[in-house]
Amino acid sequence: MSAAVHLELVFSRPETTLSVTRGAARLLMDMGYAPLLEVCLPNGRRADVMGVGRRGDIVICEVKSGVDDYRVDRKWQEYGPFCDAFYFAVAPEFPQDILPDAPGLIVADGFGGAVLREAGVTPLAPARRKALTLAFARLGALRTMRD
């Protein structure tokens, strides 16, 4: 007679954040975006993942590693003016029902992700798009020179 063994994988918050961030970035690449991680925005906030699409559209993903991370961090509401579309990116075990309905929703792990809810699109003003695109390009170029 064998006893059933229940194993539960428990990841620390930094490991979950890294896994979801990687998966969300890989998903954005699959969707045709060129992503960068931890992008500082003009308002002083930092986007976890920001991507520029083939047509110049800009998407931001805010990674939430757990319920506590979501509940104590409301700065995500300040990202909208700097992107055409905004998503939350969470791990598969994240309780999705606590998230607001308006942003898009990505579920991701270290290997990739899936869009469960499309983000609404609010096009950026042309001048802001140009400024963000130039800053994004410079950041990407400078990062490649550091490596």
Using one digit for the tens of pLDDT, what is the confidence trace for 11-42?
A: 558 899 999 999 999 999 999 999 999 999 99
Residue 109 lies in a domain: yes
Determine which helix (DSSP H) or strand (DSSP E) holds 20, and give its type and residue range: helix 13-30
pLDDT at 10: 46
Give the per-residue pLDDT at 13. Answer: 83
Note the pTM of the prediction, 2 decimals: 0.89
In a domain, residue 3? The reply is no
Q: Is residue 5 part of a domain?
A: no
Domain contains 1: no
Q: pLDDT grade, residue 3 (50/70/90)?
A: low
Q: What are the b/e assignments for 107-131, b being 16+ CB within 10 Å?
A: bbbeeebebebebeeeebeeeebee
Question: How many domains does the chain fold into?
Answer: 1
How large a percentage of the chain has pLDDT more than 90? 84
Q: Does the residue 127 lie in any domain? A: yes
Q: φ and ψ at 37, to 5 degrees? A: -100, 150
Which residue range(s) make up the domain with 101? Answer: 13-146
Query: What is the average per-residue pLDDT within 57-67?
Result: 96
